[in-house]
């Protein structure tokens, strides 16, 4: 946990990565469950960044859970991950995260990526998404 002073000269932002805990398969009435990994990456070489919170929303925009609600820091080139189990279908086909973050001025914003995967028998399915800054 990090305790930063609200008077610190940090730039702030909000990022939105889409995440899929399931996708449609064959028809709109059949879905395929996925394991999702959300990566929070500090792409800076020298300074830490701060993630204020991580909120997970379902397809209807309803908050499912908050993964942390206190600031954490991510060291230079470090990655912190959240894994959503394949059996966890709460997010649905249109799930997403909201991350609020703070960085020292002049640094790169954090990179948020989603990696979805499923394997069944001889079939494998995987794809990625990337977060966008919304504020």
Task: Indicate the average pLDDT of the chain.
Answer: 91
More confident residue, 52 or 27: 52
**4 band by pLDDT with thresholds 50, 70 and 90:** low
- Determine the pLDDT at residue 72: 96
More confident residue, 66 or 70: 66
List the domains of the chain with CATH numbers.
10-133 (2.60.290)
- Determine the pLDDT at residue 5: 58
Question: Are the CB atoms for 128 and 115 separated by under 8 Å?
Answer: yes
Q: Is 53 exposed, middle or buried (0-12, 13-18, 19+ CB in 10 A)?
A: middle
Q: What's the predicted TM-score (pTM) here?
A: 0.87
Residue located via tokens 């990994």: 37
Mean pLDDT throughout 114-134? 90
């Amino acid at each position: 946990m990090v305790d930063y002073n609200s008077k610190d000269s940090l730039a702030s932002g909000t990022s939105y990565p889409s995440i899929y805990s399931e996708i449609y398969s064959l028809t709109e009435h059949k879905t395929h469950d996925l394991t999702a990994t959300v990566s929070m990456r500090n792409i800076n070489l020298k300074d830490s960044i701060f993630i204020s919170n991580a909120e997970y929303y379902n397809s209807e925009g309803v908050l499912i859970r908050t993964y942390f609600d206190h600031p954490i820091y991510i060291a230079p080139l470090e990655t912190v991950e959240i894994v959503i189990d394949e059996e966890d279908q709460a997010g649905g086909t249109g799930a997403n995260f909201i991350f609020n973050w703070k960085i020292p001025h002049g640094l790169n914003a954090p990179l948020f990526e989603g990696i979805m995967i499923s394997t069944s028998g001889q079939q494998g399915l995987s794809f990625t998404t990337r977060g966008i800054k919304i504020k």
